[in-house]
């Protein structure tokens, strides 16, 4: 299967390229970057010490046309442009980008009527196991436990809370029969008054080179249950993304997530 990588010169892009180049069944068909990038024209494997004969290019249309699937961990505005190119060429798409507006998410839903897409806030297999564990814990513990979600990422992350934290909130809220839009509380400061029993709190930490840490805390009277996952390498995201790309092979148009990929639904 031919794989194109968007944002190929970034930290995640390089990790994805390395994963594709070392896989037995996937072929790197395009390494894509924005116009004006100093990496344009260079061999995509050069920085990894593994020259592959694929030059970094800004021609997204041509790169996607030559590929079966595009893997995209960039920014919402770029991902939506690439989405259009995938629809035009019929290529599948794995989207790990976060921070979309409601309109942006709707455009992905609409595109999935024409191509097969895996769209997930986190591609790591362990994180998706945590989604399921949080759902089970919320179902068992019910409304007698207060829920707080804490996430930590590197200093360069631009959105907060993380997409993974929000997904954890959505999973827990659904299990408890709540509307996250109505019960979410983002940080606290000053005289906030007593905690609303139905609220789900979110707290974001940014610093250093933290790859990604997420904890869902269920705090009850006399005990506390925590579901925690710590990502120590971006390779976990890349492994999940390649698994998602393989899952899409032969699939018809549709919108899938990692729970589909992992058979957790």
User: What is the Cα–Cα distance from 64 to 29, expressed in whole angstroms?
Assistant: 8
Neighbours of 32 (CB within 10 A): 30
User: What is the Cα–Cα distance from 243 to 245, expressed in whole angstroms?
Assistant: 5
Q: Estimate to the nearest angstrom the gap between the alpha carbon of 199 and the chain centroid.
A: 25
**125-231 CATH choice from 3.90.850.10, 3.40.50.80, 3.40.50.720, 3.30.360.10:** 3.30.360.10
Neighbours of 58 (CB within 10 A): 15
Neighbours of 180 (CB within 10 A): 16
User: What is the Cα–Cα distance from 123 to 259, expressed in whole angstroms?
Assistant: 10
Neighbours of 196 (CB within 10 A): 12
Question: If you ran DSSP here, which 8-state letter would residue 144 be given?
Answer: G
What is the second-level CATH architecture of the domain 2-119+234-261?
3-Layer(aba) Sandwich (3.40)
Residues carrying an active site annotation = 153, 157
Distances (CA, A) of 31 to 28, 65, 85: 8, 13, 15
In 3-state terms, what secondary structure has residue 225? strand
In 3-state terms, what secondary structure has residue 117? strand
H or E stretch at 21 = helix 11-21
Domain spans of the chain? 2-119+234-261, 125-231
Summarize pLDDT for 22-44 with one digit per residue, the tens: 999 999 999 999 999 999 999 99
39 within 8 A of 259, measured Cβ to Cβ? no
Tell me the CB-side half-sphere exposure of residue 128, using CA atoms within 13 A.
Answer: 24
138 within 8 A of 180, measured Cβ to Cβ? no
Neighbours of 22 (CB within 10 A): 10
Taking only the tens of pLDDT, the chain with its 265 residues reads 999 999 999 999 999 999 999 999 999 999 999 999 999 999 999 988 899 999 999 999 999 999 999 999 999 999 999 999 999 999 999 999 988 999 999 999 999 999 999 999 889 999 999 999 999 999 999 999 999 999 999 999 999 999 899 999 999 999 999 999 999 999 999 999 999 999 999 999 999 999 999 999 999 999 999 999 998 988 999 999 999 999 999 999 999 999 999 998 7
In 3-state terms, what secondary structure has residue 66? coil
Backbone φ and ψ for 86, nearest 5 degrees, come out as: -65, -40
């Amino acid at each position: 299967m031919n794989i194109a990588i968007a944002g190929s010169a970034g930290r995640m892009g390089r990790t994805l390229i390395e994963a594709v180049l070392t896989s037995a069944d996937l072929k790197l068909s395009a390494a894509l970057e924005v116009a004006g990038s100093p990496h344009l024209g260079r061999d995509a494997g050069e920085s990894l010490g593994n020259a592959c004969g694929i030059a970094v290019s800004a021609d997204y249309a041509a790169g996607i046309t030559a590929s079966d699937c595009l893997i995209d961990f960039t920014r919402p505005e770029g991902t939506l442009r690439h989405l259009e190119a995938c629809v035009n060429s019929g290529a599948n798409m794995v989207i790990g980008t976060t921070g979309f507006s409601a309109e942006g998410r709707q455009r992905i839903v609409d595109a999935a009527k024409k191509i097969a897409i895996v769209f997930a806030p986190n591609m790591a297999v362990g994180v998706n196991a945590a989604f399921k564990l949080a759902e089970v814990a919320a179902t068992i513990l019910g409304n007698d436990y207060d829920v707080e979600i804490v996430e930590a990422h590197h200093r360069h992350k631009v959105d907060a809370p993380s997409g993974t934290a929000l997904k954890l909130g959505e999973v827990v809220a659904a299990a408890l029969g709540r509307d996250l839009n109505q019960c979410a509380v983002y940080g606290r400061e000053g005289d906030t008054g007593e905690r609303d029993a139905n609220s789900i709190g979110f707290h974001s930490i940014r610093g250093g080179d933290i790859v990604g840490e997420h904890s869902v805390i269920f705090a009850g009277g006399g005990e506390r249950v925590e579901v925690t996952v710590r990502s120590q390498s971006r390779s976990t995201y890349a492994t999940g993304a390649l698994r998602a790309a393989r899952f899409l092979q032969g699939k018809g148009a549709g919108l899938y997530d990692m729970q589909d990929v992992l058979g957790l639904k």
